Chains A and B, each alone.
Chain A
Amino acid sequence: MDQTELKSRIKRALLEELDLRGKTEADIDDAAPLFGAGLGLDSLDALQLAMAIEERFGVTIPEGEASRTIFASVNAIAEHIARAKAE
Chain B
Amino acid sequence: MARRERIAITGLGMVSALGLGREESFRRLCAGERGIGPVSLFDTAGLRSQIAAEVRGLDVAALAPRGEAADWSRSDALAFVAARDALTHAGHVDGVPLGLALGGTTGGMYETERALAVLPKGQIQPQDARRLLDFPLAVSVERVARTLGSVVCSATVCSACSSGAVAIALAASWLLSGRVPRVVAGGVDGLCQLTFTGFNALGAVDPKPCRPFDVARAGLTLGEGAACLVLELESAARERGAQIIALLSGWAVASEAHHVTHPEPSGERAAAVMRDALAAAGLEPGAIDYVNAHGTGTVQNDAMEARALTRVFGSELERVWLSSSKAQIGHTLGAAGAIEAAITALAIQRGQLPPTAGLEQPEAPELRHVRAPNQRATLRAALSSSFGFGGACAVLAFEAADTRARPLSWQGPRSVVISGAANFGALGLSSGVGAANSLSEAASSAPTPSAIDPLRLLDPDRSRRFGRASALVVAAAERALHDAGCDAAATGLVVGSAFGDVDRSVRFLQKLFEQGPKFASPAEFPQLIASTSSGNASLYLGLRGPCLSVSEFGTSGQSAVSVALSLLDLGLGQHILAGAAEAHDPIVDGVLGADRGEGGGFVLLEAEATAGARGHVPLARIVLHRAVRGDATRAFAELGAPTLPSEACVVRGRLPSPVAGALTRSAWGAVTSYDLPARAGYHEALGAFGLSFAAAQIAAGRAAQALLVTADVDTVYITLLEPVQPARGPA
What residues make up the interface of A, taking CB atoms closer than 8 Å to B?
17-23, 40, 42-45, 47-48, 51, 54-55, 63
Contacts and interface: CB of A to CB of B under 8 A. Distances in A.
Nearest to A64: B203
B522 A20 contact: no
A45 B203 contact: no
A84 B420 CA distance: 56
B455 A21 contact: yes
A22 B259 contact: no
A34 to B, nearest CB: 14
A18 B463 CA distance: 11
A51 B460 contact: no
12 contacts: A20-B460, A20-B464, A21-B463, A21-B464, A44-B259, A47-B201, A47-B202, A47-B522, A51-B521, A54-B518, A55-B519, A63-B203
A40 B523 contact: no
Nearest to B520: A51
A47 to B, nearest CB: 4
B519 A45 contact: no
Contacts of A44: 202, 259-262, 522-523, 526
A42 B461 contact: no
Given A19-B465, A21-B455, A45 B460 contact: no
B464 A51 contact: no
A48 B203 contact: no
Given A17-B523, A47-B523, 7 more contacts: A18-B464, A18-B523, A48-B523, A51-B520, A54-B518, A55-B515, A63-B203
B460 A48 contact: no
A51 B287 CA distance: 48
Contact of A21 (B202, B262, B460): B460
Nearest to A55: B519
Contacts of A21: 455, 460, 463-464
A43 B262 contact: yes
A45 B523 contact: yes
Interface in B445-476: 455, 460-461, 463-465
Nearest to B203: A47
Given A21-B455, A42-B259, A48 B464 contact: no
A59 to B, nearest CB: 13
List the 10 closest pairs (A to B, CB-CB), nearest first. A48-B523, A21-B460, A47-B522, A22-B460, A19-B464, A55-B519, A19-B465, A48-B522, A44-B523, A44-B261
Contacts of A55: 515, 518-519
Contacts of A17: 523
A71 B176 CA distance: 54
Interface-centre pick from B461, B519, B523 (highest chain A CB count, 10 A): B523
Interface string B173-205: 000000000000000000000000000011100
